[in-house]
Amino acid sequence: MSNSFPSAARVFAPGRNNPFLRSLEAQLAIAVFALALLFVSAQGVFAHEFKAGDIKIEHPWSRATPAGAKVAGGYLTITNTGSSSDRLLSIASDISAKAELHEMGVKDGVMTMRPVTGGLEIPAGGKVALAPGGYHLMFMDLKQPPKQGEMFAATLTFDKAGAVKVEFAVQAIGSPAPQEDNH
């Protein structure tokens, strides 16, 4: 029986004028590239981002909570690459009965936090950071407390960009800032 299927040796042998061999080379290159991407994403598990329309959400993170805690914070950065403003309207997650957008501030020398009503504007071409001490998301009446090293899902809803599914990376109790490694 004649064997017309190229052997591995022939695939790697010089045959650059043969389109069949050239496409195999291209496929190998793509496979190697895909593996490299997998490796990079495994290394940068905390360097994650999500996109919907003109909205980009970078590095959602949260903190593990002390035993019995009823609330957990959520932090991230939102960029609007579009030419019109958008508005973060709401947040929902299976880890808590409800979730709100909060603002932290000092009132009469006391740190307070209050729900933001009417949503949070993300200006055209602008960037809004939700971080400890300022705007933040608050997961209330926790059903599954966030555990350090794990991720949990949540959905952010924007006026124009619509619903965006994101994953929050859970850091240690009391982490002051996101553990970003390569961005």
Report the interface residues with Cu ion, using CB under 5 A.
Answer: 102, 113, 138
Is the CB of 47 or the CB of 116 nearer to Cu ion?
116
Count of other CB atoms within 10 angstroms of residue 15: 15
What residues does 168 pair with on adjacent strands?
A: 152
Which is nearer to Cu ion, 59 or 102 (by Cβ)?
A: 102
What kind and span of H or E run contains 98?
strand 96-107
For the bound state, the minimum distance from the C-beta of residue 136 to Cu ion, rounded and expressed in Å, comes to 6
Which residue's Cβ has the minimum distance to Cu ion? 102
* CB contact at 8 A, 49 and 58: yes
Query: Which residue bears the tokens 């991230």?
Result: 76
Residue 56 or 102 with smaller CB distance to Cu ion: 102
Give me the least distance between CB of 102 and Cu ion, in Å please: 3
Nearest distance from C-beta of residue 119 to Cu ion, angstroms: 16
By C-beta, is 88 or 161 nearer to Cu ion?
A: 88
* Closest distance to Cu ion from the beta carbon of 83 (Å): 32
- The answer to whether the CB of 44 falls within 8 A of the CB of 59 is no
From the list 17, 108, 99, the residue with the least C-alpha distance to 60 is 99
